[in-house]
Structure 1
Amino acid sequence: MALPKGLAGVVVDQTKVSSTQNAVLTYSGYPVRELKNAPFEEVVFLLWHSRLPTTNELHDFRKQLVSQMALPYETVQLMARIAREPQHPMSILRTTVSLLGTTNDVERDEPPRILAKMLTAIAAIIRIRADLPIKHVHREWGVVENFIYLFSGKRPTSDQVAMFNTVMVLHADHEFNASTFTARVVASTQSDDYSCLTAAICALKGPLHGGANEQVFRMLETIRQTKQDPIQYVKDQIARGHKIMGFGHRIYKNGDPRAAILRKIAHRLAVTTGNEAYFTLQEQIRQYMFDKTGLHPNVDYYTALIYHCFNLDRQVFTTMFAACRTAGWLAHIIEQQAEGCLIRPSSKYIGKTDRHYLTDKEENSVD
């Protein structure tokens, strides 16, 4: 039996949440390119219920999410201490999510309340680390508008809300990626939702899964600060055996469909925020990478610039990914828990065999 590295191409279970079959990303059967302008709350409802909500259901669902975008007092007090620690924000988020599972009335926490608390917690981490006061939601606003306000401290424009809404929709889910599969493994044990989310964040924290957007912007910053020629920089990195982050995808060999949508948003934001130089760099690198390697940008490539245009520090980029992906994680947790089957794969042993442990008495008797 051939065992591909990293289970590439191996079907381990069934799901109704999302699919990347034929390199087309769909949420419950709907192509994501058709959902890119749908309200984030509507897409979350779709992922959790396998159908779109009615007008009244969407209104009530949005109201429910926003009404629960508040953190328990105990959580805020503890976060005010741990968020200032000199650790990567993903480490802070990992601890915070575990903390959320121990404060307030956790027994009553259902997916809408958990998602709402996650968004607020991530925004609070960003504010606390920047020595800025934590903001509070406006009940009459939507989820995306509130989320931007909570991490930025400013009410976004309608255009900013629309663009960030698309970012959140495109990141909401992506089939059985590493963090989602990790969440499902924990969910298969019938563990609680916070334990599943903590495990997912631990997986996302690894640089081979999350963190690519942060590394993309680190590259752009380095090129600009050192005034290097971008093409020569990429050539040097490739010659040293370094990977150019933000390019290539295990599934999308002919280009990540999400990147094509995000490229337009990145360009528009770059123009309106005075970051055109960064977008120009990205375009130069994109063209060279395609000509040299045939690789296309993935979802992380343009997301990096988008987050920068929202005045976010690159260290929190992966936490923003987690904010969007929590919707999908919860959808898979719900599905796996309902399945009621423990995930327990087998392995092929390749170590030494026919070894024996002898006691001193047995060794002497052999002599």
Structure 2
Amino acid sequence: MELPKGLAGVVVDQTKVSSTKNAILTYAGYPIKELKNAPFEEVVFLLWHTRLPNADELKDFRKLLVSQMALPYETVQLMARIAREPQHPMSILRTTVSLLGTTNDVERDDPPRILAKMLTAIAAIIRIRNDKPIKHARKNWGVVENFIYLFSGKRPTAEQVSMFNTVMVLHADHEFNASTFTARVVASTKSDYYSCLTAAVCALKGPLHGGANEQVFKMLETIRETGQDPVQYVERRIASGQKIMGFGHRVYKDGDPRAAILREIARKIAHETGNDPYFVLQERIRDYMFKKTHLHPNVDYYTALIYHCFNLDRQTFTTMFAACRTAGWLAHIIEQQAEGCPIRPSSEYVGQTNRHYLADKEENSID
């Protein structure tokens, strides 16, 4: 039996949520390039129902999500303690999601309620870590506008909402990636939504998945702070066998379509926030990496700079990824639980055989 590394290309199930077939990302059949400016709430509805909402449905759905963007009192009290611990924000989020499962009426597997609570919890983690008071959602604002307000404490401009909306849409789902597949495995056992989401957060935390955006900006900071030439820095890392985060993708060999969209947002917001030097660094590294390795930037590469321009600490970047991807996780959880069949693959055993306990015990005994 020969299996591709990391199960690359192995089809394990069917889905109506999203696809990367032929290296084209689609949500329920719609190309991501056509959805990039669609309201986040509309895209969430699409992922959950595999159809677009009409005007009244979208209005009601947005109102429902915003109405649920408040955390239970018990959750806030406990978060105020754990969020100040010297742990990575993703570790805090992992515990918070599990905590929500005990304080947020776990008998109600209600996707809108859960997504809204996740967004608010992530914003609250950021506020508490910065010793800032937790903000409360404004009922007349949209989900993205509220989310930015909840983590920043300031009402964003219409342009900022538009840019961040696109970021959230592009990150909302991506077929059977590691965290989504993890959520589906747990969902297949008919476990509750919070258990599924906790497992997904654990998978997303890894630097080879969601944590890559943090590593991208760490690289940019190191280059700027030490005054190194970016090309020489990358050359040394490659020569020493180290991975350059933010480049290459298992599916998109000719370039991640999300990165192309995010590049223009990164360029614009970097200029508007006085972060042009970071974008210049990224472009020099981008050009060199293509010349040297023929690898293109992926979704993490430009997202890192965008998050920085929203005054987010790089350790919180992956929690932003989780905020966006929760929409897709929930879509896959809903779909998987409807199948009613636990995921239980087989494996090929390659260890020793024909061993016998008593014989080996006797042989290894000491006189």
Report TM bin, short chain. over 0.9
| Displacement after TM superposition at 1:103 (Å) | 0.3
Counterpart position of 1:230:
230
| Displacement after TM superposition at 1:154 (Å) | 0.2
Structure 2 CA distance for aligned equivalents of residues 311 and 137 of structure 1: 20
| Displacement after TM superposition at 1:272 (Å) | 0.4
Write out aligned runs for 1:1-367 (5 A): 1-358=1-358
| Displacement after TM superposition at 1:360 (Å) | 10
Runs of 4+ in 1 over 4 A off after TM superposition: 359-363
Structure 2 CA distance for aligned equivalents of residues 361 and 328 of structure 1: 52
Structure 1 CA distance for aligned equivalents of residues 206 and 37 of structure 2: 30
| 1:239–1:68 distance in 2 versus 1, CA, 3 Å | same
Secondary structure of 2:159's counterpart equals: helix
Residues 230 and 285, structure 2, Cα contact 8 Å, conserved in 1: yes
| Displacement after TM superposition at 1:105 (Å) | 2.3
Q: 2:229 is aligned with what amino acid?
A: D
- Structure 1 unaligned blocks of 5 or more: none
Q: Deviations over 1:335-357 (max 9, x none)?
A: 00001011000000000000001
Q: Deviations over 1:220-279 (max 9, x none)?
A: 000100011111111111111111100000000000000000000000000100000000
- When structure 1 is superposed on structure 2, of 119-128 and 230-239 the one drifting more is 230-239
RMSD: 1.2
Structure 1 CA distance for aligned equivalents of residues 212 and 3 of structure 2: 27
Q: Deviations over 1:6-56 (max 9, x none)?
A: 111000000000000000000000000100000000000000000000000
| 1:277–1:359 distance in 2 versus 1, CA, 3 Å | same
Q: How many residues align structurally?
A: 363
| 1:360–1:128 distance in 2 versus 1, CA, 3 Å | closer
Residues 72 and 103, structure 2, Cα contact 8 Å, conserved in 1: yes
| 1:361–1:62 distance in 2 versus 1, CA, 3 Å | closer
Q: 2:245 is aligned with what amino acid?
A: M
Normalising by the residue count of structure 1, what TM-score does the alignment of the two structures yield?
0.98
Residues 207 and 215, structure 2, Cα contact 8 Å, conserved in 1: no
Secondary structure of 2:102's counterpart equals: coil
Residues 106 and 192, structure 2, Cα contact 8 Å, conserved in 1: no
Secondary structure of 2:103's counterpart equals: coil
| Displacement after TM superposition at 1:209 (Å) | 1.2
Structure 1 CA distance for aligned equivalents of residues 203 and 35 of structure 2: 27
Structure 2 CA distance for aligned equivalents of residues 23 and 232 of structure 1: 32
Structure 1 CA distance for aligned equivalents of residues 104 and 208 of structure 2: 34
| Displacement after TM superposition at 1:107 (Å) | 1.6
Q: Deviations over 1:192-213 (max 9, x none)?
A: 0000000000111111112110
Secondary structure of 1:319's counterpart equals: helix
Structure 2 CA distance for aligned equivalents of residues 361 and 212 of structure 1: 47
| Displacement after TM superposition at 1:108 (Å) | 2.6
Q: 1:277 is aligned with what amino acid?
A: P
| Displacement after TM superposition at 1:359 (Å) | 7.5
Structure 1 CA distance for aligned equivalents of residues 96 and 361 of structure 2: 54
Secondary structure of 1:80's counterpart equals: helix
Residues 109 and 192, structure 2, Cα contact 8 Å, conserved in 1: no
Structure 2 CA distance for aligned equivalents of residues 187 and 231 of structure 1: 45
Residues 266 and 305, structure 2, Cα contact 8 Å, conserved in 1: yes
Structure 2 CA distance for aligned equivalents of residues 303 and 287 of structure 1: 18
Structure 1 CA distance for aligned equivalents of residues 305 and 252 of structure 2: 21
| Displacement after TM superposition at 1:2 (Å) | 1.8
Structure 1 CA distance for aligned equivalents of residues 315 and 133 of structure 2: 19
Q: Deviations over 1:281-317 (max 9, x none)?
A: 0000000000111000000000000000000000000
Q: Deviations over 1:78-123 (max 9, x none)?
A: 0000000000000000000000000032223400000000000000
Secondary structure of 1:318's counterpart equals: helix
| 1:247–1:356 distance in 2 versus 1, CA, 3 Å | same
Structure 2 CA distance for aligned equivalents of residues 80 and 27 of structure 1: 37
